[in-house]
Amino acid sequence: MSRCHVKSAVGHAARGMLALALMGACIACTDAAAPVVRPPPLDENPAPPQPVCLYLMEICPVPLPTYDGSGQLAHPDVAVLPDGFAAHEFWLVATPYPNDNANLENPSLYTDTDHRWAVPPNIHNPLVPPPPSPAHNSDPDIIYDPATATLRLYYRLTTDGGDQILVKTTSDGEHWTDAATVAAAPGISIISPAVVRTPDAHWYMWSVNAVHGGCQAASTVLERRMSSDGVVWSAPEPVIIDQPGYVVWHLDVQYIPSLAEYWALIAAYPSGGGCAADDLFFARSPDGLHWQTYAAPAVARSDFAPFAGAVYRSTFTYEADVDAIRMWLSGTVYRNGQWVWTTATTRWTQAELMGQIAAIRPGAPPAGGPTTWTTSSPEAAQSEFP
């Protein structure tokens, strides 16, 4: 609690009465304004790149350089490797998306250098070059394959009437293979791929099918594909999930070996709205097909001013030794006719996260801007769906 200091030239008695009066006012205003902060659990191992918040449950911006100079990134995905890969423990991929410019939505790579996020040595972003307009890239997902000691980057390519999921691989973080197509579907039916390799070498890919309505779909289908190698995939099958009052739009999935279950962060928009007004929800599953959801968001648009428009596709890692979850978030606010994007981080213990998503919270706030993305230039891709 902060202290109030009162200086006065009046007499001792008057000073005492004044101090008592102001003390009550000071306590009231201080208690109302000061956030509840708690010390973090044990140090993170491995320690994530700076900046991170000093306290649990805070949300702190994470500035990252972008090849276009905007510093505005969407759709982060992280691979955390305690044993390291190419001398780094953290690898992150995301796409610039200033004012929803799909031409700039090209996967870009970051890693931990001197305890801060930086572009890896000898990498020149974007890692994936832009295709000829009106085609565009989006939705990256990064994962480590211990069987081949390689890092894989999956991402989505939207072309005229269709979506493809492509993969690039590297054995050293610097030299990447040419992209190869591993899945394809009609446009807007394979959104936000989230790829998991389990310890028993099974591969799974979750994605969202929004072919009936796209960014304003009244409902979407969360689908799962399977593979033995992460290259040749099965046909999709729908999973069982229901986020009451919301439409699932984007997601990240991780397998948690110590708990033998899958966790997901799901960006979803209110039913009847559009994909530019998302909140971020947590879900869990014992088998990847049957998902338990929770009524309240883990991170809502009202929780962080730079996310007042949408809390978008985000990523996370679970720390089994302290039962905590570290998230890297992306979100946006509509300001002066422009969508402005911010990357941020937050950390929770599992108990606090469960308390957050089980709490009774106000209903979804009204949209802080348009409920669908606006095409930002005549050259932007024909798809308005990032």
Residues 26 and 84 in one domain: no
Residue 371 belongs to a domain: no
Average pLDDT over residues 128-148: 96
In contact, 52 and 111? CB cutoff 8 Å? no
Beta bridge partners of 207: 223
Residue 41 belongs to a domain: no
228 has pLDDT over 80: yes
For residue 342, the enclosing domain spans 60-358
Residues 5 and 154 in one domain: no
Residue 47 belongs to a domain: no
In contact, 274 and 372? CB cutoff 8 Å? yes
- CATH label of the domain that carries residue 103: 2.115.10.20
Residues 81-122 pLDDT 10s: 999 999 999 999 999 999 999 999 999 999 999 999 999 999
207 has pLDDT over 50: yes
Residue 51 belongs to a domain: no
Residue 347 belongs to a domain: yes
Q: How many domains does the chain have?
A: 2
Residues 124 and 267 in one domain: yes
Residues 323-343 pLDDT 10s: 999 999 999 999 999 999 999
Q: What DSSP state is assigned to residue 246? A: E
Residues 162-176 pLDDT 10s: 999 999 999 999 999
131 has pLDDT over 80: yes
Residues 221 and 267 in one domain: yes
Residues 172 and 116 in one domain: yes
123 has pLDDT over 70: yes
- Coil, strand, or helix at residue 272? coil
Give the per-residue pLDDT at 359. 82
Give the per-residue pLDDT at 261. 98
- The C-alpha atoms of residue 198 and residue 201 are separated, in whole angstroms, by 5
Residue 124 belongs to a domain: yes
380 has pLDDT over 50: no
26 has pLDDT over 50: no
In this prediction, residue 373 has a pLDDT band, given cuts at 50, 70 and 90, of low
Three-state SS for 37-83 is CCCCCCCCCCCCCECCCCCCCCCEECCCCCCCCCCCEEEEEEEEEEE
Residues 6-22 pLDDT 10s: 333 334 433 343 343 43
146 has pLDDT over 90: yes
Residues 113 and 11 in one domain: no
Residues 26 and 69 in one domain: no
379 has pLDDT over 70: no
Residue 44 belongs to a domain: no
Among left, alpha and beta (phi > 0; psi -120 to 50; other), residue 23 is alpha
Residues 120 and 187 in one domain: yes
Q: What DSSP state is assigned to residue 85? A: E
Question: Residue 298: CB partners within 8 Å, gap ≥ 6?
Answer: 265, 280, 281, 282, 327, 348, 353, 356, 357
Give the per-residue pLDDT at 22. 36
4 has pLDDT over 60: no
Residues 21 and 65 in one domain: no
Average pLDDT value for the chain:
88
Give the per-residue pLDDT at 41. 53
Residues 212 and 326 in one domain: yes
In this prediction, residue 161 has a pLDDT band, given cuts at 50, 70 and 90, of confident
Residues 259 and 315 in one domain: yes
Residue 70 belongs to a domain: yes
Give the per-residue pLDDT at 71. 98
Residues 184 and 117 in one domain: yes
